[in-house]
Amino acid sequence: MGGAARRISRRHLLIGTGAAVVAAVAYFGLRPFADRVTTIRGSQDGETVVETVVEGLEIPWSITFLNRGEALITERPGRVKLLDVDAGRAELLGTVGVAHVGEGGLLGCDVLPRGERLLVYRTSYAGQRLTNSVLLYDDLSLRDHVVLVSGIEGASVHNGGRVKVGPDGNVYATTGDAARPELSQRPESLAGKVLRFRPDGSPPPDNPSPGSIVYSMGHRNPQGIAWSPRRGRLFATEHGPTGEFGMFAHDEINLIVPGGNYGWPQVIGSGRDPRFIDPVMESGSTTWAPSGCAFYTGSELGRFRGSLLFAALRGEALHRIELDAEERSVVDHEVLLQGALGRLRDVVQGPDGTLYVLTSNRDGRGRPRPGDDRVVAIRTRR
């Protein structure tokens, strides 16, 4: 790994117009824009544009920033890359042993504060079975790690996979039902859950069930988590059914409460069953396939401030929702970049207020176009 494994602090000239290309795509085909950027919608602060930061990635799954100019990206086949935002370059830091089977592989990542200790969520084999686990690497050399959580049921689909450090300093991870819906309702199973644990893997004493890292249950395939800046509440995105029990669609945005049961597979969407918690918003008969999400708190994109944004895979769009004052219902929903970039996997806010989005067109379900996959930046051009 050599120099690439060390922290890179290089700063180069800003990317020229020729390198900052987005292959803007009409819903049924390629259609480059003359000015080589995709416009979202103007604001009083200037024109909001989408520009390519880096391209040529292979199924990027998660992005997390180290500082203003550097971020880490996981690729599902097992690679961790360091993105130099200004230079528009992603260099290999190292690899993580994974079972890249179907939707499994190297999924979510985050960095613990006070040091560059890297958290990753991965799928691997335990004998003949697929299983998921959360690992903690000592530093960005990716040489030494400890297993914080293991024994999360895995499969070729429905592995969940998001892992993030919460405002309380605990680690949160989303897990899918591993194509076994009944596991979501079993408290002893780690599948179909949102997990909460300390950075050493132990359960916090204030978790809903003493000695358990299960924070909420009844989930099918949650792939995004984010905390609201106003009230510090945890929200999660979740994929609805794709044929199980004859059901389809009904993707969800959920407000996660400790010990909450979100109903899968007994109900989908807004089941209005008092035993379960209904989503804040659901897609109805439309499929979004929502993945990574983030609340926007910056000033660079003023009209997004306070909104929850989430990336959609099958829906091929970036969604923006505005919650009411109580954060229990949606008062505005906007669909951005519909079809322009293809399948979107993650969205994060950078330290400078720019939004960064990962595409996922090489995951076997998309329509790859030249340059895929890529990291794109959404910023204001004044």
Structure tokens at 284: 């109805």
Check residue 14 and give its pLDDT: 24
C-beta separation of 310 from 292 below 8 A: yes
C-beta separation of 321 from 294 below 8 A: no
Structure tokens at 349: 């806010």
Residue type, 224: G
Q: Which letter does DSSP use for residue 8 in this model?
A: P
Structure tokens at 272: 């209005």
C-beta separation of 342 from 366 below 8 A: yes
Distance separating alpha carbons of residues 345 and 161, to the nearest angstrom: 12
Per-residue pLDDT of the chain (382 residues; tens, 9 = 90+): 333 333 322 222 222 222 223 333 222 222 222 223 345 654 555 688 999 999 999 999 999 999 999 999 999 999 999 999 999 999 999 999 999 999 999 999 999 998 889 999 999 999 999 999 999 999 999 999 999 999 999 999 999 999 999 999 999 999 999 999 999 999 999 999 999 999 999 999 999 999 999 999 999 999 999 999 999 999 999 999 999 999 999 999 999 999 999 999 999 999 999 999 999 999 999 999 999 999 999 999 999 999 999 999 999 999 999 999 999 999 999 999 999 999 999 999 999 999 999 999 999 999 999 999 999 999 998 6
Distance separating alpha carbons of residues 264 and 350, to the nearest angstrom: 34
Backbone angles phi, psi at 304, to 5 degrees: -85, -10
Check residue 312 and give its pLDDT: 98
Residue type, 336: L
Q: Return the residue matching tokens 């950075």.
A: 199
Residue type, 358: L
To 10 degrees, the CA torsion angle through 338, 341, 342, 348?
-90
Structure tokens at 19: 């390198």
C-beta separation of 212 from 205 below 8 A: no
Distance separating alpha carbons of residues 237 and 221, to the nearest angstrom: 9
C-beta separation of 62 from 73 below 8 A: yes
Q: Which residues contact 357 (CB under 8 A, 6 or more apart)?
A: 50, 311, 318, 341, 344, 346, 347, 375, 376, 377, 378
C-beta separation of 76 from 99 below 8 A: no
Q: Which residues contact 16 (CB under 8 A, 6 or more apart)?
A: none
The three-state secondary structure class of 115 is coil
**Angle at the Cα of 118 from the Cα atoms of 114 and 120, rounded to 5 degrees:** 145
Task: Count other C-beta atoms under 10 Å from residue 55's C-beta.
Answer: 19
Structure tokens at 47: 């024109």
Distance separating alpha carbons of residues 289 and 301, to the nearest angstrom: 25
Q: Return the residue matching tokens 């592989």.
A: 105
Q: Quick one: which H or E segment has residue 348?
A: strand 344-349
H helices of the chain, in order, are none
Distance separating alpha carbons of residues 145 and 139, to the nearest angstrom: 9
